[in-house]
């Protein structure tokens, strides 16, 4: 967990409103949680008054619903159907445009819209780790993704430590929460506590930009004890656990396990798990033209390894035709071969894939079943 050495400061509810206003005055589009269509979603905020004060959530395998809280806490809810990937690595993005001149020649130009300047308010520690994972995937190699890179560079991140995990959360198992992991990169961090006299936010800066914004806010000194206790207690209320011991070896050693058939009997191959996952990054491209054929555009959109055509090879067809092979590809990559490519697990323990699976497939349950089958097979081996 993060080691705090700077003097501790605190905001009240009015101070939180001042934070949103300070970010907007600096030219940021503030994105944060708000209630919409029966869920807590991420959207642009005109003011702090649009935060989901007094709302929590109930989440289980295949289940998500809002519930009223007995206090006015704004960040006491678990992950909703979106992650910050929606804004940094958007579902659809134009890559280039081409126009044909009267002489038949073409002019091709990159998309010329300037990248948005986002301030993310309420990023959970697990989602902060997910952003770090996508940083490694999309900007960590020799080629920086042209959509993600500029958006990420301009983003201002305000973390909200988790004090209210849901029944599908297992970030403690993955070392990604509920408090800020050591070495996290952020601009400001908040820890919310609801006291009898109102809402309190322990606040600290993690960057020069964060220090600049913090200096403009109405803070007061605090010892931070209530905030630290709330995060510590949240760590003991995780709804799920996953044994992280050598997951890479487990995935590699269970490729022929019977459990893959059992999960395939339930899996709809709908791809919901990849859409809500904050680290999945696969895309495809498509070209569109106008009716004259003189203007063309290339767009990139999210794709999923659960799509039958995702592994399509010319002259051969799809490589992974069964639900078994597609689910196995997703899980073994997320927990196993991701290590080979990017040096870490691709799972941050947010639990979204559990809550938003229409048949309630539970990644922690599948890993436990594979581990149990592997142990039984090993015991019976000569």
146: which residues sit within 8 A by CB, 6+ positions away?
95, 110
How far, in Å, CA of 60 to CA of 369, rounded?
A: 19
Residue 102: partners with Cβ closer than 8 Å, 6 or more residues away: none
156-160 vs 118-123, strand pairing mode: parallel
Farthest-apart Cα atoms in the chain, separation: 76
Per-residue pLDDT of the chain (382 residues; tens, 9 = 90+): 555 555 689 999 999 999 999 999 999 999 999 999 999 999 999 999 999 999 999 999 999 999 999 999 999 999 899 999 999 999 999 999 999 998 889 899 887 788 999 999 999 999 999 999 999 999 998 999 999 999 999 999 999 999 999 999 999 999 999 999 888 899 999 999 999 999 999 999 999 999 999 999 999 999 999 999 999 999 999 999 999 999 999 999 999 999 999 999 999 999 999 999 999 999 999 999 999 999 999 999 999 999 999 999 999 999 999 999 999 999 999 999 999 999 999 999 999 999 999 999 999 999 999 999 999 887 655 5
pTM, to two decimals: 0.94
Backbone angles phi, psi at 277, to 5 degrees: -65, 130
Q: What is the pLDDT of residue 110?
A: 86
Contacts for 310 with CB less than 8 Å, ≥ 6 apart: 282, 284, 303, 304, 318, 320, 326
Is the preceding peptide bond at 178 cis, omega within 30 degrees of 0?
yes
Q: Which two tokens stand for residue 208?
A: 């020069």
For residues 352 and 81, is the Cβ–Cβ distance under 8 A? yes
**Helix (H) or strand (E) run with residue 18 in it:** helix 13-25
Backbone phi and psi for residue 119, each to the nearest 5 degrees, phi listed first: -120, 115
CB atoms within 10 A of CB 8: 17
Return the sign of the alpha-carbon dihedral for residues 34, 226, 170, 248. positive
Structure tokens at 264: 């395939």
């Amino acid at each position: 967990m993060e080691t705090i050495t700077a003097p501790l400061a605190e905001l009240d509810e009015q101070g939180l409103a001042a934070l949103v206003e300070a970010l907007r005055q600096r030219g940021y589009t503030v994105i944060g949680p708000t209630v919409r269509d029966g869920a807590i979603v991420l959207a642009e905020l005109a003011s702090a008054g649009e935060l989901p004060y007094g709302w929590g959530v109930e989440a289980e395998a295949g289940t998500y619903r809002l519930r009223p809280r007995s206090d006015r806490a704004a960040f006491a809810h678990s992950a909703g159907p979106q992650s910050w990937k929606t804004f940094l690595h958007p579902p659809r993005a134009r890559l280039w445009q081409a126009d044909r001149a009267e002489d038949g020649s073409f002019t091709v130009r990159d998309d010329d819209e300037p990248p948005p300047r986002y301030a993310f308010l309420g990023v959970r520690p697990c989602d902060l780790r997910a952003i770090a994972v996508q940083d490694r995937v999309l900007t960590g190699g020799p080629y920086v993704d042209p959509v993600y890179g500029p958006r990420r560079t301009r983003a201002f991140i305000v973390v909200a430590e988790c004090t209210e995990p849901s029944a599908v959360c297992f970030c403690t198992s993955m070392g990604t929460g509920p408090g800020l992991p050591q070495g996290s990169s952020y601009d400001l961090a908040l820890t919310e506590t609801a006291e009898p006299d109102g809402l309190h936010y322990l606040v600290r800066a993690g960057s020069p930009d964060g220090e600049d914004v913090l200096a403009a806010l109405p803070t007061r000194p605090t010892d931070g004890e209530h905030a630290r206790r709330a995060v510590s207690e949240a760590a003991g209320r995780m709804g799920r656990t996953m044994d992280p011991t050598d997951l890479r070896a487990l995935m590699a050693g269970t490729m022929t396990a019977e459990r893959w058939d059992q999960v395939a009997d339930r899996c709809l191959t709908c791809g919901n798990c990849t859409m809500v996952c904050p680290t999945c990054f696969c895309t495809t491209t498509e070209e569109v033209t106008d009716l004259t054929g003189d203007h063309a555009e290339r767009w990139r959109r999210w794709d999923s390894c659960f799509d039958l055509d995702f592994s399509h090879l010319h002259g051969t067809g799809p490589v992974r035709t069964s639900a078994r092979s597609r689910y196995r590809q997703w899980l073994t990559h997320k927990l196993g071969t991701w290590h080979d490519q990017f040096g870490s697990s691709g799972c941050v323990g947010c639990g979204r894939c559990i809550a938003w699976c229409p048949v309630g497939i539970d990644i922690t349950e599948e890993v436990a079943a594979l581990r149990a089958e592997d142990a039984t097979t090993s015991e019976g081996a000569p």
